[in-house]
Amino acid sequence: MINRVISGRSRADRLDELRRRTATPVLIVGGGINGISTFRELALQGIPAILVEQEDWCQAASGALSRMIHGGLRYLETGEFALVKESVNERDRLLKNAPHYVQPLRTTVPIDSYCSGLVNAGKRFFRLSERPSRRGAMVIKAGLTLYDLYTRENGSMPRHHLAGGGETRRLWPDFNDWVKCSATYYDAWINYPERLGYELIEDSERANPQALAINYLSVVGAADGRVTLRDMSGGETFTLAPHVVVNATGAWVDQLNGVLAPGPGSARLIGGTKGSHLIIRSPKLLAALQNGMVYYENQEGRVCILFPYFGNVLVGSTDIRTDDPLDTICAADEQRYILDSLRFVFPHIAIADEDILYTFCGIRPLPVSDTAVNGRISRNHSLKVIAPAAGRDFTTLCLIGGKWTTFRAFGEQAADRVLQLLGEKRRVTTTDLAIGGGRDFPAVGERKAWVALLAAQYHQEAAQAARWAERYGSRVAALLEFAGQSPDRPLDHHAGYTVNELRWLIVNEQVEMPADLLVRRTAMAISGRLTPALVAEVTALLAAERGWSETVARENLRLTIEQLAQRHGLAKLAASATEGETYDHP
Ligand SMILES: Cc1cc2nc3c(=O)[nH]c(=O)nc-3n(C[C@H](O)[C@H](O)[C@H](O)COP(=O)(O)OP(=O)(O)OC[C@H]3O[C@@H](n4cnc5c(N)ncnc54)[C@H](O)[C@@H]3O)c2cc1C
């Protein structure tokens, strides 16, 4: 069966629709993964919810994650068993429901002793200590045994394995001398989180055409029971009377509460921490990882990760308190910290500054906490209801915390609370519902034959069809159909993508700015492949599809280059674009 894309709604159509709606049962503010998940849950129950995002879908924390879909092994130590169980269940659901983007990940933990950390782990469990410390083999073994127990219920992953000194040295010759043994277990990773976020929106609108999702639309005010929204591209404002507002704005939750209820501030709910990652080009480091993840404690006992990502290595992360949702630039001292941590585990693999191809940073929207150690702030999620008050006739439901991994469960819980407020009942569950290109996507063993059949049906080369299947899962059929309708060619500055492929994304996936394409609908940016010429080529394609004037196209190109330089450490890209040089990158 062809997994067709049903979009058809242009931005102008969406804004028209918004203009017609003067009231809505639910307005969801924030198009990160948790707002999107709540939208999907409500749309599937028949609720004509409206979802708005001030920039692009998954542009904030939901595009800045470590890209792990995981149970959260370390939360066992603080006794958050329910969170680990929920996370493991959600991880296993994502492996089934989004097999095109979520895959198992073999994970190895280097360990420096057999017994260390026992006393501290005990203290942490009984909340007598917050001090980070290194965990020895016995503590890790205990954690992994419990983890296996949760995992075994779903029968999805192999059990953990503890390797002694000899075996570890043989398997991991590049590890630092302090590594005495190691443990290997399985979790999962996601290659296109932002794409999965978009597919959830598309599924929701397809299931319920009354549900409406609009990006680049910001909530900017509220008065007399009505909320004001501003179109961030055209400047037009709209007002809506909602029955319930879902505040899913992550690091902006407190700010939005201030906008919705001007006057004396409500209680602070969010205490964010900033986290940065690097994408590093190092064939030696890549080879050392042997296709798996290394999950380790650095010199101060903080958990760090690294694993292969689109041919490079993703390394992270930092964990620094901040109250500013826009504090999302990976600073020079963070880069140094991440590289020092990397040297701590692989001391003989040198990384030069020019090996850092790309950086990304986001704010974890954690619950406000007075814990002295950031890593100890709970990664659990919760809901807070703010009752209507004079001048604010709607109830506000705030989403606090939450991991990417648990978006479905959190969205389900938020939607259930909204349904209760609306006096409605749940009709369907999403536990086993495949997402986007994960629908009817064949199992690994059957994929090659399936792709060959599709390639023949649409007169496309098998290699191209296979590449698209890897990127879009079963939605590849819709792309093949679209791409076959006019002559196609590879981009001049990135042979891995074609013109019709980008046109298909622009037409169907609410692409408004070049960065939406470069950073979130494709992996061009995160795979370290951006050049000024490529950014200009993609902008020109978008300009042609959208009918931008030359002035608008030039301004959007300038804004994009500036944003990529600022948010992703691509200052060199900005410099060479200004000087009209070609940027020397792989
Ligand atoms: C460094 C880091 C590493 C992480 N690693 C992992 C991991 O490996 N695995 C995992 O499971 N989780 C991970 N997480 C956690 C996870 O990414 C987040 O908890 C999750 O993405 C939060 O999603 P959200 O939708 O709540 O918030 P966000 O994604 O931040 O979305 C909130 C949105 O609200 C929008 N908004 C704000 N104000 C307005 C307004 N007035 N009008 C309209 N829109 C507005 C913002 O633009 C933003 O897009 C990580 C997080 C970080 C930061």
Alpha carbon nearest to ligand 1 atom 47, residue: 54
Q: Can you give the pLDDT at residue 379? A: 85
In sequence order, the 6+-apart residues with CB closer than 8 A to the CB of 476 are: 437, 451, 454, 465, 468, 469
Residue-wise pLDDT for 399-425, tens only, equals 999 999 999 999 999 999 999 999 999
The pLDDT score that the predictor gives to residue 349 is 97
Residue 134 banded pLDDT, cuts 50, 70, 90: low
- Residue 427 burial class via C-beta count within 10 angstroms: exposed 0-12, middle 13-18, buried 19 and up: exposed
Residue 29's DSSP bridge partners are: 52, 247
CATH number of 11-61+194-266+379-422: 3.50.50.60
| 582 to 103, 499, 523, 531, 573: CA distances (angstroms) | 36, 21, 21, 7, 9
Q: Is the pLDDT of residue 395 over 90?
A: yes
When pLDDT is cut at 50, 70 and 90, the band that residue 123 belongs to is low
- Residue with the smallest CA separation from ligand 1 atom 21 is 62
**Whole-angstrom distance, CA of residue 385 vs CA of residue 408:** 20
Tens of pLDDT, residues 31-82: 999 999 999 999 999 999 999 999 999 999 999 999 999 988 878 777 788 9
Q: Is the pTM of this model over 0.75?
A: yes
pLDDT for 361 equals 97
Query: What's the CATH architecture for 273-290+300-364?
Result: 2-Layer Sandwich (3.30)
Q: How confident is the model at residue 374 (pLDDT cuts 50, 70, 90)?
A: confident
Residues ≥6 apart with Cβ < 8 Å to 244: 25, 26, 27, 394, 395, 396, 397, 418, 421, 422
For ligand 1, atom 35, the nearest C-alpha belongs to: 30
What pLDDT is recorded for position 409? 98
Q: How far apart are the first and last CA of the chain?
A: 39
For residues 213 and 204, the answer to whether their CB atoms sit within 8 Å is yes
DSSP label of 437: G
Ligand 1 pocket: which of 54, 359, 406 to mutate (most atoms <8 Å of CB)? Answer: 54
Q: According to the model, what pLDDT value does residue 3 have?
A: 47
> How far is the C-alpha of 483 from the C-alpha of 469, rounded, in Å?
14
Average pLDDT, integer, range 156-171: 92
**511-519 average pLDDT score:** 98
Across the range 102-131, mean pLDDT stands at 72
Per-residue pLDDT tens digits for 419-445? 999 999 999 999 999 999 999 999 999
Confidence of residue 582 (pLDDT cuts 50, 70, 90): very low
For 66-86, letters b (16+ CB in 10 Å) and e give: bbbbbbbbbbbbbebeebbbb
**Angle formed at CA 397 by CA 50 and CA 18, multiple of 5 degrees:** 15
Least confident of 88-102, 255-269, 289-303, 443-457: 255-269
The atom of ligand 1 lying closest to the CA of 87 is 11
Q: Which residues partner with 293 through β-bridges?
A: 107
Q: List the residue whose alpha carbon is closest to atom 28 of ligand 1.
A: 32
Q: Look at ligand 1, atom 3, and give the residue with the nearest C-alpha.
A: 65
Mean pLDDT for 144-148 is 88
Mean pLDDT within 222-237: 95
Are 535 and 516 in contact, with CB atoms under 8 Å apart? no
State the average pLDDT over residues 185-199.
97
Q: Which of 68, 87, 88, 249 to mutate to test the pocket of ligand 1 (most atoms within 8 A of CB)?
A: 249
Q: In the chain, count H helices and then E strands.
A: 19, 18
What are the residue boundaries of the structural domains of the chain, listed by start?
11-61+194-266+379-422, 68-87+105-184, 273-290+300-364, 486-579
Rounded Cα distance between 245 and 248, Å, is: 9
Cα angle for residues 303, 253, 265 (degrees, 5° grid):
125
183, 165 contact by CB (below 8 A): no
Of 4-8, 230-234, 300-304, 547-551, give the lowest mean pLDDT range.
4-8
Give the separation between CA 67 and CA 362, rounded to whole angstroms: 12
Per-residue pLDDT averaged across 17-23, rounded?
Answer: 96
Greater confidence (281 vs 575) lies with 281
Distance between CA atoms of residues 121 and 60, nearest Å: 33
- Residues 303-318: pLDDT tens digits? 999 999 999 999 999 9
Write the pLDDT tens digit of every residue in 520-546.
Answer: 999 999 999 999 999 999 999 999 999
* Ligand 1 pocket by Cβ (under 6 Å): 29-35, 52-55, 59-62, 64-68, 218-219, 248-252, 256, 275, 317, 362-365, 399, 402-405
When pLDDT is cut at 50, 70 and 90, the band that residue 375 belongs to is confident
- Asked if residues 261 and 252 have their Cβ atoms less than 8 Å apart, the reply is no
Residue 266 tokens read as 């409500």
Residue 384 class from Cβ within 10 Å (0-12 exposed, 13-18 middle, 19+ buried)? middle
The yes-or-no verdict on residue 580 having pLDDT over 80 is: no
Residue-level pLDDT at 7: 55
CA distance linking residue 100 with residue 475, whole number of Å: 10
Using CA atoms, how far apart are residues 363 and 252, in angstroms rounded to an integer?
Answer: 10
Query: What is the Å distance from ligand 1's center to 32 Cα?
Result: 5
Give the residue, out of 201, 403, 510, 513, with the most ligand 1 atoms within 8 A of its beta carbon, to mutate for a pocket test.
403
Q: How confident is the model at residue 391 (pLDDT cuts 50, 70, 90)?
A: confident
Q: Of 88, 62, 216, which Cα lies nearest the Cα of 149?
A: 88
Whether residue 516 is predicted with pLDDT greater than 80 in this model: the reply is yes
Residue 586 in this model has a pLDDT that exceeds 50: no
Cβ contact 475:3 at 8 Å = yes
Lookup: tokens for 527:
């795979």
Determine the Cα–Cα distance for residues 585 and 530; give it in Å rounded to an integer. 8
Q: Which residue has the higher pLDDT, 115 or 471?
A: 471
- Spatial distance between the Cα atoms of 498 and 489, rounded to a whole number of angstroms: 5
CA distance 238 to 250: 23
pLDDT of residue 235: 94
- Encode burial over 4-20: b for 16+ CB neighbours within 10 A, e otherwise: ebeeebebeebbeebee
Choice from 57, 65, 381 to test ligand 1 binding pocket (greatest atom count within 8 A of CB): 65
Q: Which atom of ligand 1 is nearest to the CA of 220?
A: 41
Predicted confidence band of residue 356 (pLDDT cuts 50, 70, 90): very high
Q: What is the pLDDT of residue 6?
A: 44
Contact 391, 296 (CB under 8 A): no
354 has pLDDT over 90: yes
Give residue 474 CA to ligand 1 midpoint distance, Å: 27
Looking at ligand 1, which atom is closest to the CA of residue 67? 8
| Axis crossing angle, helix 571-579 with helix 532-546, rounded to the nearest 10 | 80
Ligand 1 center–CA 296 separation, angstroms: 24
Q: What does pLDDT average to over the chain? A: 92
